[in-house]
Amino acid sequence: MPRLELVALENIGAVGPGDDLGAIIVASATAMRLSLRDGDIFALAQKIISKAENRYALLDEVRPTPEAISLAERCLKDPRYVELVLRESRAVLRAVPNVLVVEDRRGLVLANAGVDRSNVEVDQHGRERVLLLPADPDASATRVRARIRELANADVGVLVNDSLGRAWRLGTIGTAIGASGLPSLCDLRGQPDMHGRELQSTEVAMADELAAAASSLMGQGAEGTPIVLIRGVPWPRRDGSARELQRPQDKDLFR
């Protein structure tokens, strides 16, 4: 029978700038007596990627522009925070009280360009800082994947997982913003259904489905389980990226 297994890695600890996430993963898996296999997938919370890549910004060093100040008044947010959001964005799509939705520089449509204040510690001088998304989440996933292969001789896939809202549903859900070593989008068009009819429009966001499953173990608060091993996915062996999942603007019905 088909079976999907998810295991949250233990004893990851606090991640900081320069930490070797591939080595952390292999050490944790070894301590848990998990022998890594080709085809395993690791989902990593975006936050530990950003911390390892030192994607911090100090709020007291930010000088908001007039545009940021005006926008902050509309959405009732800190102008310094809004300035960082604008620096990370291509376009502002929606700004109302307590809501600021943008298309970020990576092509993601999300709130606040992913600029995050939650679970972000102050710096050594007690100054407040926020965390930005990885500059290139697909490249981040590729680096972690290569490091795991170097240390464990296993050809794995890696997902960078973030919690995003959706235009048509309440609540956030785990979403793949970076991927390496697996197809993010599986195109089933042309294949037969159970009755032999040819599928006309079915494309499966497999990376997002796996990210959502992993997110159920990662949690959204103080769980401290930012890495999940996913085993048993019947995925075709090809490389891919999370960019496959971005809807072209001419097919976006929500803008």
Report pLDDT digits (tens) over 27-81: 999 999 999 999 999 999 999 999 999 999 999 999 999 999 999 999 999 999 9
Q: Which residue type sits at 185?
A: L
Fold agreement (5-55+134-246, 56-131): no
Report pLDDT digits (tens) over 133-188: 999 999 999 999 999 999 999 999 999 999 998 888 899 999 999 999 998 886 65
Q: What is the 3-state secondary structure (H, E, C) of 123-172?
A: CCCCCCEEECCCCCHHHHHHHHHHHHHHHHCCCCEEEEEEEEEECCEEEE
Domain ranges within the chain, ordered by starting residue: 5-55+134-246, 56-131
Specify the long-range contacts of residues 121-126, CB closer than 8 Å, at least 24 apart.
123/56, 123/58
Report whether 215 contacts 163 (CB < 8 A): yes
Tokens describing residue 68: 């940021």
Domain covering 56-131, topology: CofE-like fold (3.90.1660)
Tokens describing residue 246: 């971005």
Report pLDDT digits (tens) over 229-241: 999 988 777 788 8
Q: For domain 5-55+134-246, give the CATH superfamily.
A: CofE-like (3.30.1330.100)
H or E element, residue 50: helix 46-52
pTM for this prediction: 0.90
Tokens describing residue 34: 């998990």
- Note the Cα 15 to chain centre separation in Å: 16
